[in-house]
Amino acid sequence: MFDYFKGFITDKRKNSKGTYLTIESSGVGYLLEITERDFNSLSINEDKPQKIYSLLTHREDAMSLYGFSNRETRDIFQILLSVSGVGAKMGIALLNEFDACDVISLVIDGNFKELTRAKGVGPKLAQKIILELKDKLIKTELPRSGSKSIPQTQAISDTQTVLISLGYEEDEIEDAIKKVLPTITDNSNSEEVLRKALTTLSM
Angle at which helices 190-201 and 154-165 cross, to 10°: 40
Q: What is the CATH number of domain 4-68?
A: 2.40.50.140
For residues 180-193, give the mean pLDDT.
Answer: 80
The DSSP line for 159-191 is HHHHHHHTT--HHHHHHHHHHHGGG-S-TT-HH
Average pLDDT taken over every residue of the chain: 86
Q: pTM of whole model > 0.85?
A: no
Domain 73-137 annotated CATH 3.30.70.2470: no
DSSP code of 143? P
Alpha-carbon dihedral angle through residues 51, 7, 2, 28, given to the nearest 10 degrees: 160
**Residues of the chain above pLDDT 90, percent:** 48
pLDDT, one tens digit per residue, over 141-166 is 433 334 445 666 778 888 888 888 88
Could you give phi then psi for residue 46, rounded to 5 degrees? -95, 10
Tell me: the pLDDT tens digits for 112-125?
999 999 999 999 99
Render 6-64 in DSSP notation, one character per residue. EEEEEEEEEETTEEEEEEEETTEEEEEEE-HHHHHH---EEEEEEEEEEEEEE-SS-EE
Closest CA to 58 of 50, 66, 68: 66
